[in-house]
Amino acid sequence: AYGMVCSAYDHVNKIRAAIKKISPFEHQTYCQRTLREIKILLRFKHENVIGINDILRAPTIDQMRDVYIVQDLMETDLYKLLKTQQLSNDHICYFLYQILRGLKYIHSANVLHRDLKPSNLLINTTCDLKVAF
């Protein structure tokens, strides 16, 4: 699901987190896609696949306009990284290894990604990579 992402500080766990704001209720198709993505991501628990830490929503159905998904904060993605610098062979091998691990896990759950691209490969400052949807 598409949405705006910002970083926030989780005072309970004392870590920075990403919060993705999704407005899925404008169209039935958006609702179905968002629900499917949330169901899939809630099942996934793997270090190379982005997961969902929490879901924030309005207290009542009548007030619900947006859904906020809390995820691990990843500082950049492969698309942005490739635009700014050339990767060493070691980085290429390490990223490819993590991509393949994530995809193996996703495929083992009988899920096909359907939108795999550099901007959906999230990377943090220690070069950990997570496949995002």
DSSP E strand stretches across 1-133: 4-10, 15-22, 54-56, 67-72, 76-77, 121-123, 129-131
Residue 119 sits at φ, ψ, to 5 deg, of -75, -10
- The one-letter amino acid code at 106 reads I
Apex 119 CA angle, 90 and 20, nearest 5: 125
Q: In the Cβ-directed half-sphere of 105, how many Cα atoms lie within 13 Å?
A: 19
- With beta carbons less than 8 A apart as the criterion, state whether 87 and 118 touch: no
State the catalytic residue, choosing from 54, 77, 115, 128: 115
66 given a catalytic annotation? no
Q: Which residues are catalytic?
A: 115
